[in-house]
């Protein structure tokens, strides 16, 4: 329990209705309010928490923080038992309140944040593995799952609200964690979900077209990412690990340097962290890691140029967190796969089946390029299955169609998560880019049937790419959400053809 005045320490507010109750919890979701809670009512992307102040009061809230002048006045008139505070920015206030309530656990963690369009998850997993390999306990927060001092739990959001993040941090610290590695989405940065966090190391992977349904323009998208590096998120990081082969990365590096941040640049063509002598197969790769500390040979079960970049980013970040070059090399070898990232499904079939999260045109292009390289030695074909998400950036749909058509021998066009949109309307948008490539294609809106069709079309030496959903275990339709796992569906399709599963996934 804490006094409201203690929770408000360092939190800017416009006005306050005098009262100083004991507070037993901080909540932003009225459904989680218990007697004695403080409820933070704030404007959100899909709803306005200020609509639920009365409900929170009925459930026992003793105090409300609101970002609405009208809601403050209404509650002051109709809910006189509540302590009320008006703030200008609900999420920034939530961050300060939660930090106070959970006793600032972030201050006891070396915090590393990864942002960028593609590669966040793999880079975070790699850095986490490197830190774990030198016996540092970690908290990992990202798209696939959360790790808290070695325990795994589901991930409802890539970057959770600050209140939930601080609770994870507090649990981790209690269990001995000294490091935190987290994916930082552009939405989280724009909305203030990570406001005020002091990142020791911030990593930028790349910037390609995505999330324009939210940000509107690429300039605003880049600006959201850049706020992690230039101090606009509260405090700039000590070290910025930045992909200098990326044009936006170079711009962000300049902004970070102006904020006094130490730059660790990486790339195949730029920076002080580079890769040479890259040898790649479907089973893994090896390359020479060149760093300011010297050179070493990296061996990993990950493969593809994108994973060279991810390994460079994670290696630079690990060195920034105090690991030696030898420790980085040993840690890189530990991680044998990241769920849904070039994850192979092996049932002793004479062709490869790969599940990958690629859901942007750039990610799909890189995935297909890797597949093309892997089949080139035995004259195999690339069969690409993908769809585009509904209620998301429409501008990338035709471009994804064009990329798939240009790189593949056969395209199977299907649904991803159509959400409220008509799957056939989404497919029509994709076809605008796919049809002019003159590549053979099939349209099958039912993703399960489409996966079966793609696998049935494969012959010896081919590679079948099941792109878009990766690690996801559900498919979001207009009227319901259903269990759906690309890996399991592919396993069933292979079994129907008489192939015997030898492992759920080797990647």
- Residue 186: give its domain's CATH number: 3.40.1190.10
Residues 116 and 27 in one domain: no
- On the 0-12 / 13-18 / 19+ scale of CB atoms within 10 A, 251 is middle
189, part of any domain: yes
Taking the C-alpha atoms of residue 431 and residue 469, their distance in angstroms, rounded to an integer, is 20
Q: Mean pLDDT, to the nearest integer, of 439-465?
A: 97
Number of domains the chain is built from: 3
Both 119 and 226 in one domain: the answer is yes
The answer on pLDDT for 80 being more than 60 is yes
Q: Based on the number of CB atoms within 10 Å of its own CB, is 149 exposed (0-12), middle (13-18) or buried (19 or more)?
A: middle
- Is residue 283 very low, low, confident or very high in pLDDT (cuts 50, 70, 90)? confident
Do residues 319 and 347 both lie within one domain? Answer: no
Q: 292 among the known binding-site residues?
A: no
Residue 37, domain member (yes or no): yes
- Is residue 314's pLDDT more than 90? yes
Q: Residue 192 pLDDT more than 90?
A: no
Q: 75 and 151: one domain? A: no
Would residue 502 count as lying in a domain? Answer: no
In this prediction, residue 251 carries a pLDDT of: 96
459 is in an annotated binding site: no
Q: Mean pLDDT: which of 56-65, 206-215, 299-308 is highest? A: 56-65
The pLDDT tens digits for 471-488 are: 999 999 999 999 999 999
Which residues, 6 or more positions from 138, have their beta carbon under 8 angstroms from its beta carbon?
128, 131, 132, 147, 149, 172, 177, 178, 179, 180, 181
Same domain, 77 and 134: no
* Whether the Cβ atoms of residue 127 and residue 120 lie closer than 8 Å to each other: no
Whether residue 505 lies inside any domain: the answer is no
- Last residue in a domain, options 316, 334, 352: 334
Q: Is 117 annotated as a binding residue?
A: yes
Q: What percent of the chain has pLDDT over 90?
A: 84
392 is in an annotated binding site: yes
Residue 96 belongs to a domain: yes
pLDDT in tens, 107-147: 999 999 999 989 999 999 999 999 999 999 999 999 899 99
| 38 bridge partner residues | 26, 63
From 34, 101, 63, 44, select the one nearest 53 (Cα to Cα).
63
119 is in an annotated binding site: yes
Residues 256 and 369 in one domain: no
* C-alpha closest to that of 174 among 148, 152, 205: 148
Q: Which of 100, 135, 164 is the last residue of a domain?
A: 100
Share of the chain above pLDDT 70, in %: 97
Average pLDDT, the chain: 94
In the block, residue with structure tokens 């979900």: 193
What is residue 490's predicted lDDT score, i.e. its pLDDT?
A: 97
Instruction: Please report, for the domain that includes residue 469, its CATH number.
Output: 3.90.190.20
When pLDDT is cut at 50, 70 and 90, the band that residue 45 belongs to is low
Q: Are residues 323 and 405 in the same domain?
A: no
Asked if residue 158 belongs to a known ligand binding site, the reply is: yes
Count of Cβ atoms closer than 10 Å to residue 222 Cβ: 18
CB 378 within 8 A of CB 411: no
Question: 255 or 44: which carries more pLDDT confidence?
Answer: 255
Residue 393 has pLDDT above 80, yes or no: yes
Residues 5-12, mean pLDDT to the nearest whole number: 96
Answer yes or no: are the C-beta atoms of 322 and 293 closer than 8 Å: no
Tell me if 245 sits within 8 A of 265, measured CB to CB.
Answer: no
- Is 281 known to sit in a ligand binding site? no
| Residue 175: CB atoms within 10 Å | 13
For 1-89, where are the alpha helices, taking DSSP H only?
Answer: 4-7, 53-58, 69-78
- pLDDT band, residue 447 (cuts 50/70/90): very high
Find out whether 417 is annotated in a ligand binding site. yes
Which is nearest to 117 in space by CA: 343, 291, 365? 365
| 216 labelled binding-site residue | no
Q: 339-366 as b/e, with b when 16 or more CB fall inside 10 Å?
A: bbbbbbbbbebebbbbbbbbbbbbbbbb
For residues 242 and 217, the answer to whether their CB atoms sit within 8 Å is no
Name which residue leads in pLDDT, 339 or 448.
Answer: 448
Q: Is 21 annotated as a binding residue?
A: no
pTM recorded for the entire structure: 0.88
- 213 labelled as ligand-binding? no
Q: Are residues 89 and 171 in the same domain?
A: no
Structure tokens at 28: 């932003």
**38 and 182: one domain?**
no
Do residue 288 and residue 424 come from a single domain?
no
- 155 in a known ligand binding site: no
- Rounded average pLDDT over 257-265: 98
419 labelled binding-site residue: yes
Element (H, E) at 84: strand 83-86
Average pLDDT estimate for 257-263: 98
CA pair distance 240, 229, nearest whole angstrom = 7
Which of 365, 366, 341 lies closest to 354 in space, CA to CA? Answer: 341
pLDDT at residue number 282: 78
Average pLDDT of the segment spanning 272-298: 94
Report yes or no on 93 lying in a domain.
yes
Q: Does the annotation flag 116 for ligand binding?
A: yes
Core vs surface per residue 468-494: b (16+ CB within 10 A) or e: bbbbbeebbbeeeeeebbbbbbbbebb
For residue 505, pLDDT beyond 50: no
* 390 appears as a binding residue in the annotation: no
Q: Which of 198, 193, 189, 295 is nearest to 252 (CA)?
A: 189
E strand segments, 161-311 = 179-183, 201-204, 239-243, 262-266, 274-281, 284-291, 294-300
The last residue of one of the domains, among 65, 100, 135, is 100
How many CB atoms lie under 10 A from the CB of residue 210? 22
Residue 219 lies in a domain: yes
Q: Which residue has the higher pLDDT, 341 or 466?
A: 466
Are 33 and 7 in the same domain? yes
Q: For position 19, which CATH number holds?
A: 3.40.1390.10
> At residue 14, does pLDDT exceed 60?
yes
Number of H helices, E strands in the chain: 17, 26
Q: Is residue 320 part of a domain?
A: yes
pLDDT of the residue at 187: 87
Q: Which domain holds residue 412?
A: 343-496
Provide, for the chain, the percentages of residues in helix, strand and coil under a 3-state DSSP scheme, each rounded to the nearest 5. 40, 25, 35
Q: What is the pLDDT of residue 149?
A: 86
Per-residue model confidence (pLDDT) at position 214 = 60
Q: Is the confidence at residue 84, as pLDDT, over 60?
A: yes
Q: Beta-carbon neighbour count of residue 499 at 10 Å?
A: 19
Say what the pLDDT of residue 378 is. Answer: 83
Q: Is 30 annotated as a binding residue?
A: yes
Report the distance separating Cα 356 and Cα 340, nearest Å: 5
Q: Is 136 annotated as a binding residue?
A: no
Q: How far, CA to CA in Å, does 241 sit from each of 23, 290, 334?
A: 40, 15, 22
Confirm whether residue 234 is marked as ligand binding.
no
pLDDT tens sequence across 317-355? 999 999 999 999 999 999 988 989 999 899 999 999 999
User: Do 280 and 209 share a structural domain?
Assistant: yes
**Cβ(286)–Cβ(279) under 8 Å?**
yes
């Amino acid at each position: 329990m804490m006094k409201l005045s203690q929770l408000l320490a360092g939190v800017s507010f416009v006005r306050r209705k005098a009262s100083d109750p004991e507070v037993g919890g901080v909540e932003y979701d009225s459904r989680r309010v218990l007697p004695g809670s403080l409820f933070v009512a704030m404007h959100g992307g899909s709803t306005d928490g200020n609509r639920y102040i009365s409900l929170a009061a009925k459930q026992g809230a003793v105090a409300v923080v609101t970002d609405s002048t009208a809601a403050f006045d209404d509650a002051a008139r109709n809910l006189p038992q509540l302590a009320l505070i008006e703030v200008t920015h609900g999420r920034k206030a939530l961050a300060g309140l939660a930090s106070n309530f959970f006793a600032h656990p972030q201050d006891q963690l070396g915090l590393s944040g990864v942002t960028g369009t593609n590669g966040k998850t793999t880079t975070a997993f790699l850095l986490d593995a490197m830190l774990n390999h030198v016996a540092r306990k970690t908290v990992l927060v990202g798209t696939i799952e959360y790790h808290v001092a070695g325990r795994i739990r589901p991930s409802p959001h890539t970057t959770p609200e600050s209140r939930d993040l601080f609770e994870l941090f507090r649990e981790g610290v209690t269990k001995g964690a000294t490091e935190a590695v987290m994916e930082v989405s552009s939405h989280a940065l724009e909305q203030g979900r990570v406001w005020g966090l002091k990142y020791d190391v911030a990593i930028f992977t790349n910037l390609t077209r995505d999330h324009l349904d939210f940000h509107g323009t690429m300039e605003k998208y880049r600006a959201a990412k850049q706020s992690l590096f230039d101090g606009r998120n509260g405090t700039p990081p000590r070290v910025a690990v930045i992909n200098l082969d990326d044009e936006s990365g170079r711009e962000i590096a300049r902004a970070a340097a102006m904020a006094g941040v130490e730059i660790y640049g990486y790339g195949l063509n730029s920076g002080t962290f580079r890769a040479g002598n890259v040898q790649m197969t479907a089973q893994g790769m090896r390359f020479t890691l060149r760093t300011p500390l010297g050179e070493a040979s990296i061996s990993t079960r990950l493969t593809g140029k994108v994973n060279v970049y991810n390994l460079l980013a994670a290696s630079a970040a690990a060195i920034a967190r105090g690991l030696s070059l030898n420790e980085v090399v040993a840690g890189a070898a530990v991680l044998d796969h990241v769920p849904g990232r070039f994850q192979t499904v092996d049932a002793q079939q004479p062709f490869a089946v790969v599940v990958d999260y690629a859901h942007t045109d750039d990610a799909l292009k890189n995935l297909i390029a890797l597949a093309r390289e892997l089949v080139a030695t035995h004259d195999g074909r690339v069969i690409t299955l993908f769809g585009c998400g509904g209620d998301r950036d429409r501008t990338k749909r035709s471009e994804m169609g064009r990329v798939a058509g240009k790189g593949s021998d056969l395209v199977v066009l299907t649904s991803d998560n159509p959400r409220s949109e008509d799957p056939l309307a989404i497919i029509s948008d994709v076809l605008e880019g796919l049809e002019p490539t003159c590549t053979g294609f099939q349209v099958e809106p039912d993703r399960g049937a489409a996966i079966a069709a793609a696998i049935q079309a494969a012959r010896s030496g081919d590679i079948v790419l099941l792109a878009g959903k990766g690690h996801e275990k559900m498919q979001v339709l207009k009227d319901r959400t259903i269990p759906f796992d690309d890996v399991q569906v592919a396993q069933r399709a292979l079994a129907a053809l008489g192939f015997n599963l030898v492992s759920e996934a080797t990647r």
